[in-house]
Amino acid sequence: MWPPFLREIDPRLVLPVVPPHKPGTDSRVSGYSLDWPRRWREKRAESLADTLRKMNTAEQYRKYYVNAERFAEASAANQDWHNRRPSRRTGYRSNSDAGD
């Protein structure tokens, strides 16, 4: 189940999702992403979604903030992913995966 390098990592630090990446770089992507929204939830009382919405002021960067908010939702829904069967995990797809 775990690639060798992941055996050394606390599973609470990562999520089993493929992050947005450039076309043609699939072979360089591990399929795991740093779960930075979890760290936010552990260290801060304010809502990450509210903070991201406040920062989302420039149309040219909107998709990045929307993707960050969606990733934060997936993080919250899957914070115990390492304790569940794979079929019970909630997926995450960035807008870039959907062709945006």
Q: Which of 1, 9, 15, 23 is nearest to 75 (CA)?
A: 15
pLDDT at position 66 is 94
Q: What is the mean pLDDT of residues 1-30?
A: 79
80 band by pLDDT with thresholds 50, 70 and 90? confident
Q: Which of 38, 43, 40 is nearest to 51 (CA)?
A: 40
Q: How far is CA 29 from CA 16, 32, 33, 37, 69, in A?
A: 11, 8, 9, 20, 21
2 band by pLDDT with thresholds 50, 70 and 90? low
pLDDT above 90 for 57: yes
CA angle in degrees (0–180, nearest 5) for 16-17-20: 155
Determine contact, residues 35/12, Cβ cutoff 8 Å: yes
